[in-house]
Amino acid sequence: MEAKTVCTHCCLLCDLYLEKGREIEGVSFRNPLCPKGILAWRITYHKRRLLYPMRRKGGYERISWERALAILSRKLKAARSKAALVSGTCSGEEISAVSSFMRAVRGKLYTSFPTLGLGGERAGLEEIERCDLIFALGEPFEQFPVLAGRVLRAKYERGVPLFNLSCRAGPTSWFSQLIQPKPGTESWVLLHLAKILIERGLYKKECEREEGFRKLKEFLAGVKEETFELSGVARSALEVPATALSRSARALILWTPGVSPEWVSNLALLVGAKILVLPGAPNATLLQAAGAGPFEGEKVDVALIFREDPRKIDASFKVLFTTFEESGADLLLPVPAFTEMSATYTDMEGRSTTVPPISDPPPKVREIPDILQRLSEKIRPGISQTKGGPSSETSSGKGFKITQPQGPPKTDERFPFAVVTQPTYFNPEWKILRPTPEFLELHPADAGKMGIKEGDRVVVKSAEGEVERVAKVRPSIPEGVLYVPDFKALVASLGVR
């Protein structure tokens, strides 16, 4: 028997066809899948599956649901500050319930995903088949493997030019004209592209009617030539992409987490490009619509963490709503896997998909809306949770926005390297299914100075902690830069956010 659902490991929401007898037995390869989709079904029966509520008391001990809710309700009643950290891999129903609950208890709603508000016209996946130029930001091939096939077909079957703005020469750059700035200066490159377009009159004249164009023009006129040194990308290196963008009738910008959106939007408006937003998790746009913003760093009394890494928020008491046994929280509450609940997910194009459950959850597992409803009754009788998911509509954000980009990370004698990372896989459960290889990449010149050889174990230290990794010596990494792909470890150990 074959059952259809979707893979919730990223915002592409690929169709997932699972072989099902009494239990799920595997995946049917009816459409292209990346390694995440191939392994997704194993979440349901993983040996680290959390089956009961557990409380940290030295180690972790099993407790009843009644006891768990009593502890949590007491903590919430006594707390002066409360926050929820919500993953975009939560379903629309879960996000709606969490949002409603946090409003009722006067708590704040946070997400670890970046703000998605952008001007410029949004595009769907089908635009890859129609565009005549692709400008990729970051590493979309590495973060969204299925997307790579579509882009490469556009390049090799239709001859679409492909540019890649990334400080690391990763898989996307292998097929692109790479623009490689210093870490953290991608926005400066986009600003300089906008400056060249306006100075040379290469922008689309209709954008002059957009709000803020005159202020943008005045601002860019005041940007000095020496600022090109901030990114390490010379003006001459940007002339080709600027000219190509200006001549394009249907350019497409691939925006991935890690590059601030304001100058992406400005560039898109100047050249009439569409933006394909790849927010990472499937319901990241719903979280934004629900009012979730980035965690601001202040410590809270109680944090409710929904399918997220508990190390991403600072709290005196942490409660983790999770599928797997994990450390880092004071209370662990078991919730269903994506195959075990009726759930709505919204992709980056705003299309909603509701999938039915195709397997039964373990007996002691509870759905998040039900848990919060019971908790509401204990804390404040009469509170009820809203049904359905929040609206996915967001403001259009039209018009130019002027922001001052940040410069490259500061280094000194004690900490001479800039660390680059990215959330390669967005669903925290993927880390359980296939842990990220513990390596770092560094330039041969840096390796030579420190006597580091391929395969050596090295320790990376920051002011806040350290991690140990296996060295890979790669010329694709700029000098003075370390690439460490384990995003979670950096958040926890090095203070990188």
Instruction: Identify the pLDDT of residue 446.
Output: 94
The per-residue pLDDT for 300 is 94
Fold of 436-494: Barwin-like endoglucanases (2.40.40)
User: In terms of Cα–Cα distance, which of 138, 180, 392 is closest to 280?
Assistant: 138
Confidence at residue 188, expressed as pLDDT on a 0 to 100 scale: 94
Question: What pLDDT does 388 receive?
Answer: 41
Nearest by Cα to 428 from 50, 20, 72, 30: 50
Distance, in Å, from the CA atom of 392 to the CA atom of 350, rounded to the nearest integer, reads 6
pLDDT of residue 382: 44
What is the C-alpha separation between 219 and 452, in angstroms, rounded? Answer: 45
Instruction: Look up the CATH number of domain 15-114+283-379.
Output: 3.40.50.740
Q: What is the pLDDT of residues 454-492, one digit of tens each?
A: 999 998 887 777 788 899 999 988 899 888 875 444 444
Query: Is domain 121-277 annotated with CATH 3.30.160.150?
Result: no
Distance set, CA 111 to CA 23, 88, 98, 282, 389 (Å): 33, 8, 12, 13, 16
Structural domain boundaries of the chain?
A: 15-114+283-379, 121-277, 436-494
What is the residue type of 470?
Answer: V
Residue 434 confidence (pLDDT): 63
Residues 52-101: tens digit of each pLDDT? 999 998 899 999 999 999 999 999 999 999 999 998 889 999 999 999 99
Residue appearing with tokens 């006891």? 67
Q: What is the pLDDT of residue 390?
A: 39
Q: What is the predicted pLDDT for the residue at 487?
A: 47
Return the closest-CA partner of residue 489 out of 424, 411, 395, 394: 424
Which residues of the chain are under the pLDDT cut of 70?
Answer: 114-119, 257-258, 381-398, 422-437, 486-497
pTM: 0.80
Q: CB of 100 within 8 A of CB of 224?
A: no
